[in-house]
C-alpha cells in the first residue's frame, strides 16, 4: 500500500482533482444501484479509482476480513472472500492494483444482507487485492498480496 | 579430517534445509489455494449441460440417450461410472465411458461415428456434447466406491494390455507413462506427479478425473487427459474411443478400486 | 439468452446462503486470437439477486471477474421453499435469469 499511503500526504487538504469535481457535480454514477459504473470500471490505477470515489485514503480496518490465497497457482482464478463486521455495511468493492483496470467487482448490500461476499477474480501478475468497504456512509479498506505463479504442464 | 567433513556437511545442509522449508511452504499455500477454489466447480455447469444433451433427441433417429446402457441396464446412469470400464456383451468388447457413449450415439441416435471422432473435445470456440455427457455421467457416481470388475477374461486382458502400455517406452524421448508416474515424490515445476503404480496414487488421481481445467477454462474428459499424456511423450494422438486408451483407462481405474469417486474434479 | 446458472440456496439459523455459478466467458478484450485479432470484451456487467421479489444483492462486474463467475452471499431471513432469483446482463445485452427454492441446510 506504499502508493496509497503516499496519496494521503498528496491529497490531504488538496483538491480532489477533476474526478472530485465531476463527482460534486453529480456526473459520476455512484453505487451499484445505478447503471454499470463505466468510469469507475475504467480506472487504470488505485489513485484514479479513489479520485472517482471522491475519497482520499480510506482508513484501514481490522473489521474487514479479507481472505485470499497467499499463492495462486493460476491467476485466472483467484478466490477472494470478504467479511465486513462494520455496522451498516452497504458496499464492497474488490480491486486488483496491477490489473489494466483496477476494479474487478462492486457489490451492494441492502439492509438484511450480510456484509459478506465470495467471488473469483483474474490477476495478471503478483499484486495487491484491495477491498474498499462502505459502512455507515464511510469508506474503509483492507489489502493483501497474492503471488501469482506460472502453472506447469501436466496435472 | 572427520571434523572438517562434518563441518562441510553442516554448511551444505543449512541452505538446503532452508530451501526445502520454502518448498514445503509453497506446497502448503498451493494446497490452500486448491482447497479455496474447490467449492463452486464450474464442471457442475457441464454436468447440467450434459444432462440436457442426454435427454435431447439427436441424430438421424431423433433419439435421446436415455436408453443408453452404460453397464447397469438401459438408462441407468447412477453409479455407472464407478464400474467402468467393463466388458459389454453386445459389442463383445471392453469399453470405457467415452467409447460406450460413442456406441450409444451411433447405434441409438444414428450419428455417424466419424462425425463424433473428428472433434470429441471442447475448444474455446465450440463445446463438445460428448464431454458434457461425460461430466453428467461421472457426476452421477460422486461419492460411490470405485468397483471395476476384472472377472471377465476380456476385462482382465484389457487390464494387462493397459499395464503394458503404461510401461511401454517409445518415441523420440524414449518415454513411457511410467517414466513420470512410477515413483513417489516426483514433480514438474509445482505439479506433484502421482505415482500411478500404487493404489493410493491411482486412487487420488483417477477419482478426480474427468475435471474442469482452470488454465483452459474448459471441462476435460479422461481420454483428453490420456491423449495429453501421449502428446507430452511425443506419441501419435490416439483415436477417440481407441482400444489403447480403453485398456490404459482399465489399468488405472482398476488400480483405483475401493476409493470413493470424487469427480468431476477441478484442476489447475 | 445466456446459459443456465447453477444456484444453490440453503437456510440455517435464519440466514440463507446463496451460491451462484454462472456460465460466461468473461472475455477481457485484451486477448488476441490465433490470427492476432483482438477478441472483443464480453462480460457480465450487472447482477441482481432477489428473495421472494425483494432485492438482496446487487453487483456490477468488470472484465477481471473470472470466467464462469462464482459468487457466494448471505442474507437474513428466507425459509425453506422460498424463491431466490438471480439475473444477470452482459455488455452485449444478453441476459439470463434463474430461480431456485431455498433448501434447509444440513
The whole-number pLDDT of residue B20 equals 58
Question: Are the C-beta atoms of B126 and B156 separated by less than 8 Å?
Answer: no
Round to whole Å and give the CA distance between B219 and B197. Answer: 26
Q: What percent of chain C lies above the pLDDT cut of 70?
A: 100
Nearest of B90, B170, B102 to residue B133 by alpha carbon = B102
Burial of B74 (0-12, 13-18, 19+ CB in 10 A): exposed
Round to whole Å and give the CA distance between C65 and C79. Answer: 30
Q: How far B170 CA lies from chain C's nearest CA (Å)?
A: 32
Number of domains in chain A: 1
Express each pLDDT in B69-111 by its tens digit: 999 999 999 999 999 999 999 999 999 999 999 999 999 999 9
Grid coordinates given for C61: 462486474
Best mutation target among C5, C22, C31, C68 (most B Cβ atoms within 10 Å) is C68
Reported residue count of chain B is 268
pLDDT at A13 over 60: no
pLDDT at A18 over 90: no
Inter-chain CB proximity C6 and B48 less than 8 Å: yes
B255 Rama sector, left if φ>0, alpha if ψ -120 to 50, beta otherwise: alpha
Q: Which residue has the cell 454462472?
A: C22
Round to whole Å and give the CA distance between B176 and C23. Answer: 38
The whole-number pLDDT of residue B55 equals 97
Question: Are the C-beta atoms of A140 and C94 separated by less than 8 Å?
Answer: no
The whole-number pLDDT of residue A41 equals 96
Inter-chain CB proximity A79 and B33 less than 8 Å: yes
Give me the total of CB pairs closer than 8 Å, taking one residue from chain B and one from chain C. Answer: 26
Question: Are the C-beta atoms of B36 and B266 separated by less than 8 Å?
Answer: no
Phi and psi of B225, rounded to 5°?
Answer: -60, -45
Least confident window among A31-40, B12-21, B39-48: B12-21
Inter-chain CB proximity B44 and C6 less than 8 Å: yes
pLDDT at B168 over 50: yes
The whole-number pLDDT of residue B34 equals 85
Nearest to C21 among B42, B49, B217 (CB): B42
Round to whole Å and give the CA distance between A53 and A16. Answer: 10
Give me the total of CB pairs closer than 8 Å, taking one residue from chain A and one from chain B. Answer: 59
What is the dotted CATH code of the domain comprising C6-104?
2.60.40.10
In this structure, are strands B218-220 and B211-213 parallel, antiparallel, or unpaired? antiparallel
For residue B27, the chain A residue with the least C-alpha distance is A71
Inter-chain CB proximity B215 and A150 less than 8 Å: no
Phi and psi of B163, rounded to 5°?
Answer: -65, -40
The domain of A47 spans: 2-148
**Chain B residues with beta carbon closer than 8 angstroms to that of C68:** 42, 45, 217
Q: What is the mean pLDDT of residues B120-134?
A: 92
What average pLDDT does the structure give for chain A?
83
Grid coordinates given for A155: 496435472
Round to whole Å and give the CA distance between B71 and B75. Answer: 9
The whole-number pLDDT of residue A154 equals 32
Inter-chain CB proximity B189 and A70 less than 8 Å: no
**Chain A residues with beta carbon closer than 8 angstroms to that of B268:** 73-74, 151, 155
Express each pLDDT in A54-73 by its tens digit: 998 999 999 999 999 999 98
What average pLDDT does the structure give for chain B?
90
Q: What is the mean pLDDT of residues B234-256?
A: 95
Residue A66, domain member (yes or no): yes
Q: What percent of chain B lies above the pLDDT cut of 70?
A: 91
User: What is the SS3 assignment for A52?
Assistant: helix
**Chain C residues with beta carbon closer than 8 angstroms to that of B48:** 4, 6
The whole-number pLDDT of residue B23 equals 67
Domain ranges of chain B: 1-37, 45-267
**Chain A residues with beta carbon closer than 8 angstroms to that of C12:** none
pLDDT at B46 over 60: yes
Express each pLDDT in B52-63 by its tens digit: 999 999 999 999
The whole-number pLDDT of residue A153 equals 36
Which candidate in B104, B177, B180, B229 is catalytic? B229
Burial of C60 (0-12, 13-18, 19+ CB in 10 A): buried
Residue A155, domain member (yes or no): no
Least confident window among B107-116, C12-21, C33-42: C33-42
Instruction: With cut-offs at 50, 70 and 90, classify the pLDDT of residue A12.
Output: low
Cite the beta strand spans of C1-106 per DSSP E: 6-12, 15-21, 44-51, 54-61, 70-76, 83-90, 95-101, 103-104
For residue B232, the chain A residue with the least C-alpha distance is A154
The whole-number pLDDT of residue B16 equals 47
Angle ∠(A28,A29,A30) on CA atoms, nearest 5? 110
The whole-number pLDDT of residue B60 equals 96
Nearest to A153 among B30, B188, B217 (CB): B188
- CA atoms within a 13 Å half-sphere pointing along the CA-CB vector of B139: 21
Least confident window among C25-34, C58-67, C73-82: C25-34
Q: What is the mean pLDDT of residues C72-77?
A: 96
**Chain C residues with beta carbon closer than 8 angstroms to that of B217:** 25, 67-68
The whole-number pLDDT of residue A30 equals 46
**Chain A residues with beta carbon closer than 8 angstroms to that of B214:** 73-74, 76-77
Round to whole Å and give the CA distance between B253 and B268. Answer: 22
Q: How far A13 CA lies from chain C's nearest CA (Å)?
A: 32
Nearest of A3, A32, A19 to residue A110 by alpha carbon = A32
DSSP string over chain B? -HHHHHHHHHHHHHHHHHHHHHHHHHHHHHHHHHHHHSSS-THHHHHHHHHHHHHS-BTTTTB-STT-BSSSSBT--TTTGGG-SEEETTTTEEE-HHHHHHHHHHHTS---HHHHHTS-S--SS---HHHHHHHHHHHTTTTPBP-----SHHHHHHHHHHHHHHH--BTTTTB-HHHHHSSTTEEETTEEEP-TTSHHHHHHHHTT-SEEETTTTEEE-HHHHHHHHHHHTTPPPPPTT-HHHHHHHHHHHHHTTTSBP--SEEE-
Which ranges of chain C does DSSP label H, i.e. alpha helix?
none
For residue B26, the chain A residue with the least C-alpha distance is A71
Domain ranges of chain C: 6-104
Inter-chain CB proximity A104 and C64 less than 8 Å: yes
Q: How far A153 CA lies from chain B's nearest CA (Å)?
A: 7
- DSSP lists the bridge partners of residue A138 as A135
The whole-number pLDDT of residue B187 equals 82
Best mutation target among A114, A116, A121, A123 (most C Cβ atoms within 10 Å) is A114
| CB of B32 less than 8 A from some CB of A | yes
The helix or strand, by DSSP H or E, that contains position A82, with its residue range, turns out to be strand A78-84
Instruction: With cut-offs at 50, 70 and 90, classify the pLDDT of residue A22.
Output: low
B229 catalytically annotated = yes
Nearest to B40 among C3, C4, C70 (CB): C70
The whole-number pLDDT of residue A14 equals 46
- CA atoms within a 13 Å half-sphere pointing along the CA-CB vector of C56: 26
User: What is the SS3 assignment for A2?
Assistant: helix
pLDDT at C91 over 90: yes
CATH of the domain at A44: 2.60.40.2470
Name the pTM for this structure: 0.84
Using CA atoms, how far residue B219 sits from A113, B160, C26, in Å, is 33, 29, 16
Q: What percent of chain B lies above the pLDDT cut of 90?
A: 74
Inter-chain CB proximity B32 and A70 less than 8 Å: yes
Express each pLDDT in A26-62 by its tens digit: 444 444 446 899 999 999 999 999 999 999 899 999 9
The whole-number pLDDT of residue C105 equals 85
Angle ∠(A13,A14,A16) on CA atoms, nearest 5? 120
Rounded to the nearest 10°, the torsion over CA C73, C75, C81, C87 is -50
The whole-number pLDDT of residue C32 equals 85
**Chain A residues with beta carbon closer than 8 angstroms to that of C76:** 112-114
Pick the CATH number of B45-267 from 3.30.470.10, 3.50.50.60, 1.20.1250.20, 1.10.760.10: 1.10.760.10
Amino acid at each position: 500500500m506504499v502508493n496509497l499511503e503516499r496519496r494521503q500526504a498528496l491529497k490531504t487538504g488538496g483538491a480532489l482533482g477533476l474526478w472530485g469535481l465531476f463527482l460534486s457535480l453529480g456526473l459520476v454514477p455512484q453505487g451499484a444501484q445505478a447503471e454499470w459504473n463505466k468510469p469507475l470500471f475504467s480506472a487504470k490505477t488505485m489513485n484514479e479509482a479513489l479520485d472517482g470515489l471522491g475519497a482520499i485514503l480510506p482508513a484501514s480496518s481490522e473489521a474487514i476480513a479479507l481472505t485470499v490465497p497467499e499463492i495462486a497457482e493460476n491467476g485466472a482464478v483467484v478466490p477472494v472472500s470478504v467479511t465486513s463486521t462494520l455496522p451498516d455495511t452497504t458496499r464492497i468493492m474488490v480491486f486488483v492494483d496491477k490489473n489494466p483496470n483496477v476494479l474487478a467487482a462492486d457489490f451492494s448490500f441492502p439492509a438484511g444482507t450480510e456484509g459478506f461476499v465470495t467471488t473469483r477474480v483474474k490477476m495478471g501478475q503478483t499484486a495487491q487485492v484491495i477491498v474498499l468497504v462502505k459502512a455507515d456512509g464511510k469508506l474503509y479498506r483492507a489489502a493483501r498480496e497474492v503471488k501469482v505463479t506460472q502453472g506447469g504442464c501436466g496435472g | 579430517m572427520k571434523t572438517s567433513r562434518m563441518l562441510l556437511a553442516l554448511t551444505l545442509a543449512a541452505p538446503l534445509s532452508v530451501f526445502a522449508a520454502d518448498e514445503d511452504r509453497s506446497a502448503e499455500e498451493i494446497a490452500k489455494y486448491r482447497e479455496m477454489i474447490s467449492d463452486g466447480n464450474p464442471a457442475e455447469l457441464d454436468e447440467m449441460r450434459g444432462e440436457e444433451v442426454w435427454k435431447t433427441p439427436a441424430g438421424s433417429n431423433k433419439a435421446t440417450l436415455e436408453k443408453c446402457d452404460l453397464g447397469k441396464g438401459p438408462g441407468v446412469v447412477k453409479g455407472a461410472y464407478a464400474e467402468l470400464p467393463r466388458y459389454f456383451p453386445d459389442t463383445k468388447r471392453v469399453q470405457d465411458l467415452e467409447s460406450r457413449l460413442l456406441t450409444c450415439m451411433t447405434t441409438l441416435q444414428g450419428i455417424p461415428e466419424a462425425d463424433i471422432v473428428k472433434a470429441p473435445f471442447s475448444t474455446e470456440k465450440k463445446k463438445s456434447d460428448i464431454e458434457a455427457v461425460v461430466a453428467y455421467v461421472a457426476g452421477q457416481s460422486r461419492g460411490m466406491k470405485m468397483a471395476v470388475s476384472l472377472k471377465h477374461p476380456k476385462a482382465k486382458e484389457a487390464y494387462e494390455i493397459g499395464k503394458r502400455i503404461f510401461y511401454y517406452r517409445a518415441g523420440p524421448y524414449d518415454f513411457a507413462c511410467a517414466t513420470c508416474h512410477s515413483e513417489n515424490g516426483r514433480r514438474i515445476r509445482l505439479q506433484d506427479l502421482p505415482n500411478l503404480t500404487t493404489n493410493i496414487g491411482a486412487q487420488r488421481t483417477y477419482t478426480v478425473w474427468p475435471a474442469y481445467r482452470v488454465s483452459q477454462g474448459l471441462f476435460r474428459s479422461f481420454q483428453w487427459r490420456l491423449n495429453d499424456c501421449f502428446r507430452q511423450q511425443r506419441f501419435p494422438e490416439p483415436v477417440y474411443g481407441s482400444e489403447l486408451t480403453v485398456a490404459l483407462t482399465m489399468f488405472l481405474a482398476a488400480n483405483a478400486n475401493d476409493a470413493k469417486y470424487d469427480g468431476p474434479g477441478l484442476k489447475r | 439468452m445466456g446459459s443456465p446458472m447453477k444456484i444453490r440456496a440453503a437456510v440455517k439459523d435464519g440466514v440463507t446462503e446463496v451460491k451462484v455459478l454462472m456460465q460466461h466467458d468473461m472475455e477481457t478484450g485484451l486477448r488476441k486470437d490465433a490470427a492476432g485479432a483482438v477478441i472483443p470484451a464480453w462480460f457480465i456487467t450487472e447482477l441482481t439477486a432477489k428473495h421472494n421479489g425483494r432485492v438482496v444483492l446487487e453487483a456490477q462486474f468488470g472484465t477481471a471477474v473470472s470466467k464462469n463467475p462464482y459468487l457466494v452471499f448471505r442474507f437474513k431471513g428466507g425459509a425453506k421453499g422460498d424463491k431466490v432469483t438471480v439475473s444477470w446482463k452482459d455488455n452485449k445485452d444478453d441476459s439470463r435469469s434463474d430461480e431456485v427454492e431455498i433448501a434447509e441446510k444440513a
